[in-house]
Structure 1
Amino acid sequence: MKMARVGVLLDRKAALRRWDNGLNVFQVYLGEILSHAGIPFEWIDDVEQLTERAFDVLLVALDRKEEGAVTPIWRFAERGGIVIAYGGLSSLAGRLGFADRGPVGKGYAWLPMHVGVSHPLRYLRATPWIAMSEDGPPYSAIGQIHSEHPQGASLGSALLQFHVGKGIIDRWAVDIAETVVGLQQGAEPVIEDGIPALDGTGSIDDGMLKADDGMAMDWELDRLTTETATPYFAHPYADWWREVMIGHLLNRVVDRGLTLPFVGYWPAGIEQVAMISLDSDLNVNESAETTLAVLREHGVKATWCMIEPGYDPHIYPRVLAEGHELAFHYNAVEHDHGKWGEAEFQRQLQWLKKATGLTEIHSNKNHYTRFEGWGELFRWCETHGIASDQTRGPSKKGNVGFLFGTCHPYFPISWADEKNRLYDVLEVGFLTQDLNHPRLADMSVTVPFLERVRQVRGVAHFLFHQVHIHNQPSVRKALRNVVHEAKRRGFVFWTGKQISEWERARRTVRVVGIKEDGTVQLTSGKDVADLVVWVPVPQGQRQLSAETMARPFGVPCIKKVVSVNKTEDDRGGKQRKWAGGIRHG
């Protein structure tokens, strides 16, 4: 099998023009989606580079709206290349027999199962095309995008597929990278209260700026209710868009008789991960003792987020001795004597290090999901050595679940003032907190959450407070139920630090080739054991394979388990940075 070579175009001139005018280039995030999926790729910043490199696939993240700037893309397709664009290529619309109708606001995309998932996918912005002429090349129209509502007015096809010469040009109406960013991080910085739910279950307009004030979900269209009438955000739209994008890419590759090996999400033997984090509010020593006992009973390790003034000193060695992680719980809540600001963040972190005797703290979660602006928190984490954050989650009973569209760990993106670089902080958001607490959701959401996370192979992160575990038998029951139901479904419990260290390690592995005997060639920045590598198998070669195949991203693949050692020659390294320090791959 021949391995496809994938290039990603992010036109430098177009990006700089936007940044110079204070506009975001969230199309950069295409690289983060590919990197998390373990897909090998190379960046290019000018279409003229297409003639210098032997790519098989070109993904168009950002192009210039000039005829001359897209002509090389057309020629690439004519020669047999695969081109996939996400809301761009407007300068080619006329040549393809279409007209660009301009951007439209949020809505829902309906896709057939062979391209995506059965449920309509929420998008935040799209640029549909309208057929204008029969003189263009032959094409197929797949799916539909609808305005505002899943049954709203149809705005056109979700995906257009054109046959151009010996190759193809596929053009999505939705800018998938921009939609994923908006779902995960919001459409704009948090500077005021968000809009509450009309039914009173999500009063996020409480005068305190929080992560969920910036959510991009719809209270009416994106929630379901359990058998106890508990509402929850049910749909991991950002994760589904990732599945759609990667599955479409892989299918196009194997249709051409090529393969594109990629690195699996988790080590061999693990399909999905569960996580328990604990916020130490009120810092009652007895609550720590009770929580240690419950976790020991079930053999679960957790991440303990400590808020000032913390427990008595004798508690910390016990927490660490039992394999738990001690993490930071930054307090910026004014009525709890906290303050938003880097100096205060640093002061509290130094307190935690002194109190615990640790020189490094890996993870943080903000008290009450306190959050404002766009990237301040992530910059502080970078500056002060916090590698992972867990702040993005619900603060109210009625917005539990996938309110940020994802259960996967990801690196967040900065605003235009930092040229949309990726922060070196892994975000691991949570689904809910303190199930069965009288003011919060009950445990009827546990199974729906676990089933959805299992579907997309992510992280089922449940937050509890030690004081509620200690004082409320119903919360203890809910914690036991989470552990029981998760283990029944094959989840493995990890701490936040374990998740972060694994994700960072697996991302240093790069697929660089495949030999005739099917051996995958890898380079790695770290020693990584039990790594899963998936090898997509082209249609005509599947019956020749004696190995068991599975279907990650809906594509038949051979599963290989390898252990890799750190290599000096990281052939992808030269492609990882440009234009203001964008962090790639």
Structure 2
Amino acid sequence: MTSLAKIAVLYDREAVSTLHRFGLNAFGHYAGEVLAHAGMSYAAYEDIAEATASDCDVLLVAAAAEDRQTVDYLTAYMERGGLVFNCAGLNALGVKLGYGKAAELSAGYAGDAGAAGSDVPLRFLRAVPWQPVRDDRTLPIAEKGVITRFSPDGAQAGAALQSFPVGAGKLYRWSVDIWDTIVRMQQGKGPVLEDGEPAPDGTGAVNDDILKADDQAAMDWDLDRRTTETGMLYFAHPYADLWREAFLGSLLEAIVATGKTLPFVGPYPDGITHVFMMSHDSDINRDEHALQTLELMKELDMRTTWCMLEPGYGKPIYDLVKAAGHELAFHYNGLQAQQGVWSEEAFARQLQWLKEAAGLTEVTSNKNHYTRFEGWGELFEWCERHGIAADQTRGPSKKGNVGFLFGTCHPYFPIAWANDGNRMYDVLETSFLTQDLELPTLSDNSVIRPFLEQVKRVGGVAHFLYHQVHIHTREAVRDSIRLLVGEARQLGFEFWTGKKVNDWERYRRTLSATISQDGTLRLEGPSSSHDIVVYIPAVPDATGDCGDGTVELHGIPCHKKVMRI
């Protein structure tokens, strides 16, 4: 009978407090967000003594002090059979194992890192590899993947993942700081305080005297873009999503090797594996633009998200948009060149205008006009305080930076900077891939297929933005949407609005899958009409056979169960 593995995450309060005292980030907190998005239940601890004394089988050390106490607690825990996972830390423990820090890498690539079905070297933003420091090492360590400096073909700097047996347990240590890499890819290298670095070839002039989300993008203009058959440049890989897969795959592989398993809730209701979303920004605000868009959406049988910029449309338009099943959302204007102001007061006033103009009691989604963005977390704080549950601001503003500019196509909850305690914001972010294909100043339709195929590959949300004004004035844009929708349906995408993405993601995170002592799978949480998918990683028998009817997730064979609450 296969039993349940219990996971705990350690975010040691004293270690975190020390970092915050010096103004340093503790992005290890994001380990919990990765598990939660993966549908995996876990216990959280802020004290290493409590964590290692618990009945958890796996301890994710997201933040811990580099001292003798940490070494002693973790060593005793592993000697009893516990598994410890860590990313780019635990250097004091490394010394005990005969390994020490090599030179830290600020950026590079990891080959064969373990993202299921991907042979792409994965970009990282920080790594701390280990190297042997004693000749008397007797531990039979295992290594996976290799990290290189600066570029995929750069000098090798060590293994991506190392595992060390310690007593009856094991240490699994990633050289790459996966949490820091995911966070800074998704949210930027740092706060947006000035214009970003433009593309050397002139295709991404982000230095336009407008502070925007893409001014702190963490991708490399030369190494991370690919070219379509028509010459369109695009960021090709959802690195943050692939790092999630690599980590979760290593975690599940280690668990099933012990003879236990970890059931997790699937990303969508049964029958859905990837989602398509389209949004529109009203910008010029002419009713005829809205009417043309409504006509096209009716033709294509689509429901989309309409982000409204003040002064908006006439009231009859809002009634038509709602009657057609579309989502009315907010398009906050902080663009000074168009009479916008970057302030919470302006955000709140414009939001109240939308509610009154469109007859809304609540608004779920926002996308900032021109992807306007400043600082790190002000926008998310404003959303929290004024009832906006979901944001879609993070996307490209230029022809040459379309695609997976922020490394992800999955909805996620962002994390605060050190000055706000690295807390999690209660705002779901869903970035977009591109806007208005077939405009002379933007990309053409050749990016559609590679975008959709990558999103399908990682089971994410393919979010495309088209403005109503261009839908009205350009037949090429209307035909682009027709082509895009046809391709998405051919690839099996389910069509959702931003509100539906938000509502589902929040609901599924209230669910918990467990295995009782008698081996019964249980699903707990609020009831719904959805068919919920639960995956149970398969534990191989003595011959290595996982049995019939398994599907692969995170590179691990899993049994699929469909359940109702």
Indicate if the aligned counterparts of 2:114 and 2:145 stay in contact, CA closer than 8 A. Answer: no
8 Å Cα contact 1:510-1:524 kept in structure 2: yes
1:336 to partner: Cα distance: 1.2
Match of 1:163 in 2: 165
How do residues 170-185 of structure 1 correspond to structure 2 at under 5 angstroms? Answer: 170-185=172-187
1:229 aligns with 2:231: yes
| Match of residue 36 from structure 2 | 35
Report how far residue 100 of structure 1 moved. Answer: 1.2
In 1, Cα distance between the equivalents of 2:149 and 2:403? 24
Gap change, CA 1:52 and 1:524, over 3 Å in 2: same
Residues in 2 aligned to 1:425 and 1:352: alpha-carbon distance in whole angstroms: 19
Asked if the contact 1:193/1:208 (under 8 Å) is kept, the reply is: yes
Which residue is 2:424 aligned to?
A: 422
Q: Does 1:342 align with 2:344?
A: yes
Contact 1:116 1:240 in 2 (8 A): no
CA shift in 2, pair 1:439/1:114, >3 Å: closer
Query: Secondary structure of the residue that 2:78 maps to in structure 1?
Result: helix
Distance 2:52 2:185 in 1: 36
| SS of the residue 1:91 aligns to | helix
* Distance of aligned partners of 1:221 and 1:114 in 2 relative to their CA distance in 1, 3 Å threshold: closer
Q: Is the 8 A contact 1:533 1:559 kept in 2?
A: yes
Counterpart position of 1:73: 74
Contact 2:113–2:146 at 8 Å: present in 1 too? Answer: no
1:444 to 443, 446, 452: 446
How far 1:523 sits from its partner (Å)?
Answer: 2.2
Cα deviation per residue 1:277-320 (whole Å; 9 max; x = unaligned)? 00001011111111111111111100000001111110011111
Q: Which residue of 2 aligns with 1:540?
A: 541
Alignment partner of 1:140 is 2:142: yes
CA contact (8 A) 1:38 1:262 kept: yes
The 1:24–1:546 alpha-carbon spacing in structure 2 relative to 1, beyond 3 Å, is closer
Structure 1: how far apart are the matches of 2:338 and 2:115? Answer: 51
**Residue 76 of structure 1: how far off its partner (Å):** 1.4
* Shift in Å, 1:114: 7.6
Please give the alpha-carbon distance, in whole angstroms, between the structure 2 residues aligned to 1:347 and 1:154: 54
Q: Could you say what secondary structure the match of 1:314 adopts?
A: helix
What is the letter of the counterpart of residue 295 of structure 2? A
| Cα separation, 1, equivalents of 2:339 and 2:47 | 52
SS at match of 1:556: strand
Deviation at 1:527, TM superposition (A): 3.4
RMSD of aligned Cα (Å): 1.5
1:544 is displaced (CA, Å) by 8.3
Partner of 1:580: none
Q: Which amino acid aligns with 2:90?
A: L
Instruction: From the superposition, tell whether residues 243 and 546 of structure 1 become closer, same or farther in structure 2 (CA, over 3 Å).
Output: closer
Per-residue displacement from partner, 1:496-543 (whole Å, max 9, x unpaired)? 0000000000000122334545x3223214536211110111111898
User: 2:114 touches 2:250 (CA, 8 Å); kept in 1?
Assistant: no
What's 2:95 paired with? 94
AA at the equivalent of 1:555 = I
**1:544 & 1:155 partners in 2: Cα distance?**
36
Shift of 1:112: 5.3
Any stretches of 5+ residues in structure 2 without a counterpart?
none
Partner of 1:377: 379
Q: 1:554 to 1:545 in 2, by over 3 A?
A: closer
Residues 177-198 of structure 1, C-alpha deviations (whole Å, 9 max, x = no match): 1110010001210000000001
Q: What per-residue deviation string (whole Å, max 9, x for no partner) do you get for residues 526-583 of structure 1?
A: 536211110111111898877621001111111111122xxxxxxxxxxxxxxxxxxx
Q: What letter corresponds to residue 458 of structure 1 in structure 2?
A: G
Question: What is the 5 A alignment of 1:166-315?
Answer: 166-315=168-317
The answer (yes or no) to whether the contact 1:63–1:70 under 8 Å persists in 2 is no
Which position in structure 1 is the counterpart of 2:468? 466
Q: Deviations over 1:185-237 (max 9, x none)?
A: 01210000000001111000000000000100000000001000000000100
Three-state SS of the structure 2 residue aligned to 1:551 is strand
One-letter amino acid of the structure 1 residue matched with residue 126 of structure 2: R
2-structure distance, mates of 1:487, 1:184? 27
Local SS of the residue matching 2:530:
strand
- The answer to whether the 8 A contact 1:235-1:405 is kept is yes
Q: Does the CA contact (< 8 Å) of 2:115 and 2:246 recur in 1?
A: no
C-alpha deviation, 1:11, in angstroms: 1.1
Partner deviation per Cα, 1:161-186 (whole Å, 9 max, x = no partner): 11121111111101111110010001
SS of 2:60 mapped into structure 1:
strand
Letter in 1 for 2:400: G
Q: Which residue of 1 aligns with 2:367?
A: 365
**8 Å Cα contact 1:97-1:132 kept in structure 2:** yes
SS in 2 for 1:559: strand
Residue identity matched to 2:272: I
Counterpart position of 1:498: 500
> Would the alpha carbon gap of residues 342 and 300 (structure 1) be closer, same or farther in structure 2, given more than 3 Å must change?
same
The AA in structure 2 aligned to 1:5 is K
Residue 49 (structure 1) aligns with: 50
Which residues in structure 2 correspond to 1:324-339 (within 5 Å)? 324-339=326-341
Other-structure match for 1:400: 402
> Residue 115 of structure 1: CA displacement?
7.0
- 1:582 match: none
Gaps of 5+ in 1: 565-585
Provide the secondary structure at the position in 1 that maps to 2:39.
coil
- Alignment check: 8 A CA contact 1:280 1:465 kept: yes
Distance in structure 1 (CA, Å) of the matches to 2:459 and 2:299:
26
Q: Which amino acid aligns with 1:444?
A: S
The code of the aligned residue for 1:450 comes to L
**Residue number in structure 2 paired with 1:19:** 20
Distance 1:287 1:152 in 2: 51
Question: How many positions carry a matched residue from both structures?
Answer: 563
Q: Is the 8 A contact 2:62 2:87 kept in 1?
A: yes
Give the stretch that moved more between structures: 46-55 or 458-467. 46-55
Contact 2:115–2:243 under 8 Å retained in 1: no
Aligned to 1:431: 433
State the SS of the aligned residue for 2:29: helix
CA distance 1:386–1:480, change in 2 (3 Å): same
State the match for 1:521 in structure 2: 522
Partner residue, 2:110: 109
> 2:116–2:554: 8 Å Cα contact kept in structure 1?
no
Q: Distance in 2 between matches of 1:182 and 1:499?
A: 23
Match of 2:153 among 151, 154, 161: 151
| Structure 1 contact 505–528 (Cα < 8 Å) conserved | no
Residue 449 of structure 1: how far off its partner (Å): 0.1
- Kept in 2, the 8 Å contact 1:117–1:244? The answer is no
Aligned mates of 1:481, 1:475 — CA distance in 2: 10
Please report the TM-score for the alignment, with normalisation by the length of structure 2. Answer: 0.97
Partner deviation per Cα, 1:73-93 (whole Å, 9 max, x = no partner): 111111211111111110111
Decide whether aligned partners of structure 1 residues 51 and 310 sit closer, same or farther in structure 2, where only a CA change above 3 A counts: closer
- Taking the aligned partners of 2:533 and 2:546, their CA distance within structure 1 comes to 18
C-alpha change, 1:320 and 1:115, in structure 2 (3 Å) is closer
Shift of 1:12: 1.1
Deviation at 1:117, TM superposition (A): 3.0
Matches of 1:515 and 1:473, distance apart in 2: 62
